[in-house]
Amino acid sequence: MKKSKIGRDHPMPGMPQDDTGGFAGGFASSSASTMNLANHFLIAMPSMQDPVFGGTVVYICEHNDKGVLGVVINKPTDMTMEILFERIDLRIVDGLHSAVVNEPIMFGGPVQDDRGFVLHTPGAHYSSSLTVTDEVAFTTSIDVLEAVANGDGPQRLLVSIGYAGWSPGQLEDEIGRNGWLTVGADAHVLFDLPIEERYNAAIKLLGIDPMMLASEAGHA
């Protein structure tokens, strides 16, 4: 089985890079987009039959005129943090909390699904990182996992393999065709809730009863 990687040599939609492979100092302007869903949840409509995105909640990290980048937050793989650390040759410090070691890795999306991506609370500086809000940062460099393995990483984090990406206008079109609901993100849902509760919790942020939404989809 091929090793999963967190690297510095992969470009991201809408994320210009410097010559070291890390993010450049200035991110692309969102002025050309009529919609900016950064720090929002995308919630797949119950009627969505897509095998990749059906039943998912996606956290949007960046949305600008070059496209959209997000991470699925409720689709766990069979890989844990411990297995990931083994595959990328990181030694776990003795005494690292079992909840961290046993945390499942998410399937973040179908793009670059052999690489790791980390959503976490901001704080320490990492070489390839984007601060989305005061509560959420998005990092693609391995140094964030090195910090976790050493016991001094972010207090709250979600690690994914792969990410979700849309070309300019693609997501807006899918939303217009009622493929997704959108709502401002809540870091508690993102980091703290059990995985199986995140979909319904995201829907409730809209003031909608998830059972009613499912019923309406069933009669569509």
The string of pLDDT tens digits covering residues 141-187 is: 999 999 999 999 998 999 999 999 999 999 999 999 999 999 999 99
pLDDT higher than threshold 90 for residue 32: no
pLDDT higher than threshold 60 for residue 28: no
Give the count of alpha carbons within 13 A of 144, CB side only: 32
Residue showing tokens 């980091």: 191
Domains of the chain, earliest start first: 40-214 (3.40.1740.10)
How confident is residue 216, by pLDDT bands cut at 50, 70 and 90?
low
User: Rounded mean pLDDT of 47-59?
Assistant: 94
Q: Of 24-38, 76-90, 125-139, 144-158, which range is least confident? A: 24-38
Burial 44-59 (b: 16+ CB within 10 A, else e): bbbebeeeebeebbbb
How confident is residue 217, by pLDDT bands cut at 50, 70 and 90?
low
> How far is the C-alpha of 138 from the C-alpha of 155, rounded, in Å?
14
pLDDT higher than threshold 80 for residue 30: no
Mean pLDDT of the chain: 84
Q: How far is CA 151 from the centre of its chain?
A: 22
Q: Cβ contacts of residue 4 below 8 Å, gap of 6+? A: 79, 84, 87, 88, 114, 115, 116, 161
Note the pTM of the prediction, 2 decimals: 0.83
The string of pLDDT tens digits covering residues 115-127 is: 999 999 998 889 9
How confident is residue 21, by pLDDT bands cut at 50, 70 and 90?
very low
- Residue 96 has a pLDDT of 82
- Residue 213 has a pLDDT of 79
pLDDT higher than threshold 70 for residue 13: no
User: Rounded mean pLDDT of 199-215?
Assistant: 88
Q: How far is CA 111 from the centre of its chain?
A: 12
User: Rounded mean pLDDT of 27-54?
Assistant: 79
Which is higher by pLDDT, 28 or 180?
180
- Residue 1 has a pLDDT of 40
